[in-house]
Structure 1
Amino acid sequence: MDLHSLTTDTVDPHERGTLLGARFGTEVARVSALYLEHFAALGLSAERVRELAEAGHEALRAWAPGLAAESDACADAAGVERWQVAAVGARTEILAACPPAGEGECSTAVYAAAGAAPQTVQTWDWHEHLVPDALLHAFTPAPGRSVKLFTEFGAAAKIGVNGAGLGVHFNILFHRADGAGGGVPVHAVARRILEEADTLEQAVEIAGSARVSASTSLTVVTARGAASLELSPRGLAVVRPGDDGWLLHTNHFLDPGLAEGDVCPGDSSTAERLAHLRAVRAALPGLKPAERAAALCGSEGGGAVVCMRPDAAKPLHEQWGTLLTVGLDVAGHALDYAVGTPDSAAAQGFRRF
């Protein structure tokens, strides 16, 4: 995965999207085409993908018109049909119309004890062939506000921080109510929280205002605490850190009520990864990013369950890998990141954005 970076100063969403599409038209077109191939491999026709993408985009236009305008302008500047870029932006909603994948994605650990600066680390696990390129984007959503984030080309946001000292981690979830389509894309919910929220309470309010058709956990981090916002078509739940200050999340619901509808596949490693996070968490605080990545692996090193590597014997759409290891410095308004698994990240070192 090649990571590209861009800094934009405009507060106009259409202009920002035009800048994105003009600068990275090749990447936007490539990722859009790869996702259409992926959806086809999962059994969705192009007509059904377009229907779901356009329904999600209309929901986005009603809920956050600036983000819809940015996506459309990006597509226009890149020379790609608008619905195809919107399909990447609504990829979680489109995937929710397919049978749940066997593996899952992402493991997040946040230390947010009272009186301590928050410390975070996440693995971003996905299909490597879908992300030959990704984006680090620093931008100005409104006068006096700033955001830095990591995302895929075409998706509004994934993992990021804002200048108010608030950050967001991202984990997919699976609920039996998912898949109807027409909901606000969950990546856009993450983006709007980064653009507008200064506090946990504001983040909860923004997330609660979105009607979604796919499930996700957005772990919101501030200097005053953290919470995982578990979104689903059945409602929003707020999961707080334990008494030890730790908030850990993989790919199943932690809220007891929403967990009753959990349909995370039985062969997913989500429970095993959560158990691993619990086992290594005591060693994580107070470390530099590379040291924390090594501690995240624990005694198993590169063989740890949080170091996901693709099985080349499987079809491409069933190959999962850890593509990025990333931590948030909410006080310093920065992402510390390294491409690859935590063990390789520990060896190669981290970069700061």
Structure 2
Amino acid sequence: MPIATHVSTETEPAARGRELGRARRAELHAAFGRYDELFRAEGARPGQVAGWGARALAETRAWAPALADEMTGMAEGAGLEPWQLGALNGRTEILAALAVTGEGECSAAVVLPPSGAPRTVQTWDWHDTFREGMLLWSMDRVQTFTEFGVVGKIGVNGDGLGLHFNVLRHASDHSDIGVPVHVVARRILDEASTVTEAVELARSARLSASSVLTVVTYDGERGDAVCLELSPERVGELPVGEDGVLLHTNHFLDEKLAAGEQTTNEVSSTFDRLPGLRDRVSALDTADRTERARALHSHRETGPGICAHADHTLPAHLRWESLATLSLDVAAGRLYAHEGGPCRIEPDGWQSAPFESDE
């Protein structure tokens, strides 16, 4: 099935949220139901999620009030409680509060050629039961691949800035819910046009969970990129090297932050996937997004498992699958999404929601 799409016609945040909520009421209710089930499977007690969701919304209102308005508008339009939208946007923070470990998500690669636009690709790995929760959303001058109810994730804006997203787990993660990392991603897409601006925004948020945002920019002549390893302890910066290559999976690479790494070989393939990406750099250095995505075709039985498939002998909350493959064209301001992992990539399978100005 293709990934669901939505093009916003409203530009005021609360109205934009209400518009999406009304248009996708059933999908938003289903999204909360899936996460509520996941939280309970991971040990959430009655009342905890409501409290954490309310706190995530409050932290968003303090740091990014326009996005809090969008979230409450979405709740109103869909007939949900505002805290439920807080819980959806704070899903990474809630899972960190529950001290969840597991496979992790996603492998991302950026290559900056000597001339021309950056070349990017990533897998989005999550529980296979969340397949119907994916959304490709176009608004104003931002496109984002996200989940129903979540204000942003992977995306690109009209200023030539794009963002990839991978989860991390750190010893400093805690249950005093901070600004959701998904809110940080969206605000960067909304407001930043340079790597420096993205770094400043990320450093201004009080966090309670960890993730890495790979920010990539292009000014029409040259590209730039940085991995921002977000954690409650600090934000680490990993600039692109002289070789123009920036790769990340689901463990910390910043030397200081790596001392608090909470992901292990026993639960995750991340330590195999990163060298697997390095082995594929020459194949990733192509202007053809289909060929870049196909370069990530590697299953765990025969390689580093960059393309993941669910083990249906496990319970739903322990199963992982590459649900989508994404590529950013920051020169054109477009995000391309393909349903499924790298082994399913076809040239005509890419989706890209147009900006409003294109319609």
Question: Which residue of structure 2 aligns with residue 65 of structure 1?
Answer: 65
- Residue 332 (structure 2) pairs with residue 332 (structure 1): yes
- Residue 177 (structure 2) pairs with residue 182 (structure 1): yes
CA distance in 2, matches of 1:179, 1:347: 43
- The offset of 1:243, in angstroms, is 2.2
CA distance in 1, matches of 2:239, 2:114: 12
CA distance in 1, matches of 2:163, 2:83: 26
Secondary structure of the structure 1 residue equivalent to 2:4:
strand
Question: Which residue of structure 2 aligns with residue 236 of structure 1?
Answer: 235
TM-score (norm 1): 0.94
| Residue 208 (structure 1) aligned to one of 203, 211, 215 | 203
CA distance in 1, matches of 2:263, 2:97: 14
CA distance in 2, matches of 1:290, 1:21: 33
Q: Indicate how the Cα distance of structure 1 residues 89 and 228 shifts in structure 2: closer, same or farther if over 3 A, else same.
A: same
The amino acid of 1:147's aligned partner reads V
- For the 8 Å contact 1:20–1:74, the answer to whether it is kept is yes
The amino acid of 1:121's aligned partner reads V
- Residue 134 (structure 2) pairs with residue 138 (structure 1): no
- The offset of 1:45, in angstroms, is 1.4
5 Å-filtered alignment, 1:254-333, equals 254-267=253-266, 268-297=268-297, 305-333=305-333
CA distance in 2, matches of 1:202, 1:262: 27
The amino acid of 2:162's aligned partner reads G
- Residue 126 (structure 2) pairs with residue 167 (structure 1): no
Question: Which residue of structure 1 aligns with residue 151 of structure 2?
Answer: 156
- Residue 50 (structure 2) pairs with residue 55 (structure 1): no
- For the 8 Å contact 2:163–2:214, the answer to whether it is kept is yes
Cα deviations across residues 288-317 of structure 1 (Å, max 9, x unaligned)? 122112222269999651110000000000
- The offset of 1:244, in angstroms, is 1.2
Secondary structure of the structure 2 residue equivalent to 1:222:
strand
- Residue 226 (structure 2) pairs with residue 227 (structure 1): yes
Gaps of 5+ in 1: 141-145
CA distance in 1, matches of 2:237, 2:40: 35
Q: Indicate how the Cα distance of structure 1 residues 300 and 26 shifts in structure 2: closer, same or farther if over 3 A, else same.
A: closer
The amino acid of 2:175's aligned partner reads A
Cα deviations across residues 112-155 of structure 1 (Å, max 9, x unaligned)? 24544200000000012134232111112xxxxx1011100111
Give the paired residue count. 348
Q: Indicate how the Cα distance of structure 1 residues 300 and 46 shifts in structure 2: closer, same or farther if over 3 A, else same.
A: closer
Question: Which residue of structure 2 aligns with residue 143 of structure 1?
Answer: none
CA distance in 1, matches of 2:240, 2:342: 23
Secondary structure of the structure 2 residue equivalent to 1:96:
helix
Q: Indicate how the Cα distance of structure 1 residues 225 and 171 shifts in structure 2: closer, same or farther if over 3 A, else same.
A: same
Cα deviations across residues 71-110 of structure 1 (Å, max 9, x unaligned)? 1111111111221121111000000012332211100000
Secondary structure of the structure 2 residue equivalent to 1:132:
helix
- Residue 10 (structure 2) pairs with residue 15 (structure 1): no
CA distance in 2, matches of 1:105, 1:133: 16
